[in-house]
Chain A
Amino acid sequence: MATSVLERRAPAVPHTHAKTGLWSWITTVDHKRIGILYGATSFLFFLLGGLEALVIRLQLTGPNGKLVDPDTYNALFTMHGTTMIFLGVMPLSAMFFNYFIPLQIGARDVAFPRLNAFSYWVFLLGGIFINTSFLVGAPPDGGWFGYANLTSSRIIPATAAAPSPGLNIDFWVIGLQILGIASIAAALNFFVTIVNLRAPGMKMLRMPMFVWMSFVVQVLLLLAFPVITVALIYLMMDRNFGTSFFMPDGGGDPIMWQHLFWFFGHPEVYILILPAFGITSEILPVFSRKPLFGYTAMVFSGIFIGFVGFGVWSHHMFATGMGPFADTFFSLATMVIALPTGVKIFNWIGTIWGGSLRYTTAMMMAIAMVALFIIGGLSGVMHSAAPADLQQTDTYFIVAHFHYVLFGGAIFGLTAGAYYWWPKMFGRLLDETLGKIHFWLMFIGMNATFFPMHILGLNGMPRRVYSYPEGLNFEFWNLIETVGAFVLASGFLVFLVNIIKTWMGPKNAPADPWHGATLEWAIPSPPQEFNFPKLPQVGSSVPQWDARRAAGGHLPEPALVSGEGIHMPNPSFWPLMAAIGVNLTLGSLLFIRQLPYWYGLTLFGAAWLFVSVYKWAFEPAH
């Protein structure tokens, strides 16, 4: 597949390039290596976001917490949300997209391997950029949704002060722009990969459910991210060039920001959860030894969730006073989303119903994902009713809701995926005993941390406030939550120990340790660079089960082959160079308000990007 804009003939002599060493990782265009890079990077960011959460919990352990001051607290919950969403869950999903979409559809790589590398490097540099704000003492502090006017750099007459004069929000705005570029590039790549690189015979309705849900996610990314891009551009102009897009003193409307943000923000929550839905739908059938119940219904409910997900954004804004017509419309649309989600839950239950279950760690995580997501989904339906939502808005009830869907749903799903696919990625099975300990610590910790938030929220404890006075009956449940958070954290410590132990242990994973249903289990663990020596022919949605049945229940280990005659894309370091160019260009905009002559760096960055893109385009791809 030619990937350059301007392709050239492949050289007569195949390139021989280093397979190991730092340089091979910097120039890699292999989707499996990029997947591992995504995973390692985002897991570090995930731990960082977790540390921020622990500090928040320590601060709130008892009344009148003194651990951090209000400003630091604002930065902590802002960066906790931003980190977990954009640097944790999204790229953890991207790890699975990278590694397993090509394997599950029977492809040798993604459609545009160098664009894939570019996405990763932009994500890495953008993540570092946004976290550099801590080092210069200006971390973002306006909440992960950055509501206007909290983000304004302009002096508001009523208070004679600007809400956010420093660089804090500038880091957030530019950081999100950079990460948005990574997301759009990656989404385009996976979208085309799924549409165009499926193995012969793999019709759309034979794709594994993980690929289907990933496909919906790519569409959501492509359609939702441009809107936040525009909103961030407006915000940047408001902060730096005195425009009034969201400023009432110039005729603008702060609510405009909320509309643009949530038009992106609501599809974004499906971007976070649907990959976990897909992973769960992979794991439950394998460990129930039954095909997925209601495959087609699962596909269309996923599409329906993505579609209706664009029509519900204003349910985040009931408290802004949109009027009864808008409230009614968005309430109803939100309740409608419960229908396809319910279809999925019943189908998962139907899948394990009557199956011969194997309680591996992956299976337990997946079952817990379904159970916890139901709790989060039910509280979601509760605040789809606008009058109820007005009581719940900005209380811990909301915090409880979205942690049940995003931690109970997304993180449990992704962790299930890690246990399920670890042997395929690294050729080693994670320790099941440690895995069970990890599971129970995480499950108990999660519920101890987030369930009391329902009670606190309904009792009126507001979110985003750095402390609370004694005597409001908040003490007991807050203490439980903090203990729960540390139990949760210890679960991830066990996970780390498990990873290290497995890393040091022998390569003990066969090609198909779980008797899986999909194509990735047909090839050695870990797969060779070209994945499939010969493109597989697919006759159903469970090709590996078909093969196993045809072989009488026992499949031989697939042999390693030389791969001669298979052209794989050349490594390239221009994706990294282009990513640096993107970061220079956008990152230099950080200073336009204070130091106008930094435009020079912007121009330099643009020139750098320009040269890199041309080098990339005219470089032989194969």
Chain B
Amino acid sequence: MTVAQAATASAEHGEIDEHHWTSTGLDTRKLAIWGFIGSECLFFASLIATYLVYRGQSLVGPLPHTESQCMLDGKMQACEGIFEIPLVTFGTAVLLFSSLFVVLALYGAQKGDRKMLITWLSATVICGLFFIGMQVYEFYHFYHKGLGYSTNLFSSTFYTLTGFHGSHVTLGVIWLSTMLVLALRGKLPPEKALNLELAALYWHFVDVVWIVIFPVVYLMR
């Protein structure tokens, strides 16, 4: 039972812990992070919707899946579909596993199992870094195959969508790393596990966004 729930429960018996009172019995910060996640849904929906509307509207290549004419090394030439599905599948799996790891770390934090907390939180951070690395490599690779940011509509919508997802991953890694430092210093005891839970919720959200992006952007031809 959280402090807020305890305060609410005691209110039913006529006495109120005024400093911990909440009307729903839920933690205020947790409500806020969920509200923020709800708001972010519309942010990513706009990005994904634009990608879908502009699918197939590019005037030049490279294109995601199919062969096209594109400008490379100063002349127009035929070039292949640009996506590297195996690489992205690998990145997707890594991000999925990081979600598993952070939920294990949270379990450890709530049970006061410091070793479990630190092990799985480190694993989460490493997975996050790995995903960012995958994306940096992918962008670099695409750029050298002639896909600049303003090359065509596909590239602009793709880079903006995945770029903003990547920046969310980066923020998540910074947040989780902060939690890791706190955990290492022993400042994440069970009664403060909520601090990690907030970061974990954000991290899962970033993961579910990728769960949508991966099939919609990469696998639908």
Using CB atoms and an 8 Å cutoff, list the residues of chain A in contact with chain B. Answer: 1-3, 5-7, 111-112, 184, 188-189, 191-192, 195-200, 202, 222-227, 229-231, 233-234, 237, 241-245, 250-253, 256, 260, 263, 534-535, 566-567
A135 and B118 CA atoms in complex are apart in Å by: 54
Instruction: Return A193 CB to nearest CB of chain B, in Å.
Output: 9
Q: Is the CB of B59 within 8 A of A200?
A: no
A55 and B29 CA atoms in complex are apart in Å by: 47
Instruction: Return A519 CB to nearest CB of chain B, in Å.
Output: 14
Instruction: Return A259 CB to nearest CB of chain B, in Å.
Output: 9
Report chain B residues within 8 Å CB of A229.
Answer: 43
Q: Is the CB of B46 within 8 A of A231?
A: yes
Q: Within B48-73, which residues are at the interface with A (CB < 8 Å)?
A: 50, 53-54, 57-59
Known contacts A112-B32, A195-B31; A252 and B54 CB within 8 A of each other: yes
Q: With contacts defined as CB atoms under 8 Å apart, how many contacts are there between chain A and chain B in the complex? A: 124
Known contacts A200-B21, A226-B39; A241 and B149 CB within 8 A of each other: yes
A250 and B54 CA atoms in complex are apart in Å by: 11
Q: Is the CB of A200 within 8 A of B11?
A: yes
Residue of A1, A7, A567 with highest tally of chain B CB at under 10 A: A1
Contact with A along B19-33 (1 / 0, CB 8 A): 111111010110110
Q: In this complex, what residue of A is CB-closest to B198?
A: A5
Report chain B residues within 8 Å CB of A243.
Answer: 149-150, 156
Q: Is the CB of A202 within 8 A of B23?
A: yes
A543 and B39 CA atoms in complex are apart in Å by: 34
A192 and B53 CA atoms in complex are apart in Å by: 35
Could you say which of B39, B53, B152, B157 contacts A184, with CB atoms under 8 Å apart?
A: B39
B182 within 8 Å of A (CB atoms):
yes
Q: Is the CB of A188 within 8 A of B24?
A: no
A583 and B14 CA atoms in complex are apart in Å by: 48
Report chain A residues within 8 Å CB of B50.
Answer: 230, 234, 245, 256, 260
Q: In this complex, what residue of A is CB-closest to B149?
A: A241
A sample of 24 cross-chain residue pairs with beta-carbon separation below 8 angstroms, ordered by A number, consists of A1-B19, A1-B20, A111-B28, A112-B28, A192-B28, A195-B23, A200-B11, A200-B21, A200-B23, A202-B23, A222-B39, A223-B39, A223-B42, A225-B39, A226-B39, A234-B160, A237-B156, A243-B156, A244-B156, A245-B156, A250-B150, A250-B153, A252-B54, A535-B18
Could you say which of A189, A244, A263 contacts B150, with CB atoms under 8 Å apart?
A: A244
Report chain B residues within 8 Å CB of A202.
Answer: 23
A188 and B35 CA atoms in complex are apart in Å by: 7
Q: Is the CB of A251 within 8 A of B152?
A: yes
Could you say which of B19, B40, B46, B58 contacts A567, with CB atoms under 8 Å apart?
A: B19
Instruction: Return A241 CB to nearest CB of chain B, in Å.
Output: 6
A191 and B26 CA atoms in complex are apart in Å by: 14
Which 3 residue pairs of A and B lie closest in terms of their CB atoms, listed nearest first? A226-B43, A230-B46, A242-B150
Known contacts A226-B40, A251-B59; A534 and B18 CB within 8 A of each other: yes
A184 and B153 CA atoms in complex are apart in Å by: 29
Report chain A residues within 8 Å CB of B144.
Answer: none
Q: Is the CB of B156 within 8 A of A226?
A: no
A224 and B42 CA atoms in complex are apart in Å by: 8
Instruction: Return B149 CB to nearest CB of chain A, in Å.
Output: 6
Instruction: Return A326 CB to nearest CB of chain B, in Å.
Output: 14
B195 within 8 Å of A (CB atoms):
yes
Instruction: Return B139 CB to nearest CB of chain A, in Å.
Output: 14
A555 and B31 CA atoms in complex are apart in Å by: 37
A328 and B198 CA atoms in complex are apart in Å by: 44
Judged by DSSP, the binding face of B is helix
B93 within 8 Å of A (CB atoms):
no
Q: In this complex, what residue of A is CB-closest to B153?
A: A251
Q: In this complex, what residue of B is CB-closest to A230?
A: B46
Report chain A residues within 8 Å CB of B136.
Answer: none
Report chain A residues within 8 Å CB of B182.
Answer: 6
Could you say which of A188, A198, A222, A260 contacts B46, with CB atoms under 8 Å apart?
A: A260
B81 within 8 Å of A (CB atoms):
no
Q: Is the CB of B32 within 8 A of A188?
A: yes
Q: In this complex, what residue of B is CB-closest to A222?
A: B39
Q: Beyond A111-B31, A188-B36, A244-B150: 14 further Cβ-contacts under 8 Å?
A: A1-B20, A3-B29, A112-B32, A192-B32, A196-B22, A198-B23, A224-B42, A234-B50, A237-B149, A243-B149, A245-B50, A245-B153, A253-B53, A253-B57
Report chain B residues within 8 Å CB of A534.
Answer: 18
Report chain B residues within 8 Å CB of A184.
Answer: 39
Report chain A residues within 8 Å CB of B29.
Answer: 2-3, 5
Contact with A along B119-133 (1 / 0, CB 8 A): 000000000000000
A252 and B39 CA atoms in complex are apart in Å by: 26
Q: Is the CB of A197 within 8 A of B23?
A: yes
B47 within 8 Å of A (CB atoms):
yes
Report chain A residues within 8 Å CB of B36.
Answer: 188
B16 within 8 Å of A (CB atoms):
yes
Report chain B residues within 8 Å CB of A535.
Answer: 16, 18, 21
A478 and B113 CA atoms in complex are apart in Å by: 76
A312 and B74 CA atoms in complex are apart in Å by: 47
A283 and B57 CA atoms in complex are apart in Å by: 54
Instruction: Return B198 CB to nearest CB of chain A, in Å.
Output: 7
A222 and B16 CA atoms in complex are apart in Å by: 32
Residue of B26, B31, B198 with highest tally of chain A CB at under 10 A: B31
Instruction: Return A213 CB to nearest CB of chain B, in Å.
Output: 18
B192 within 8 Å of A (CB atoms):
yes
Instruction: Return B2 CB to nearest CB of chain A, in Å.
Output: 11
Report chain A residues within 8 Å CB of B23.
Answer: 195-200, 202
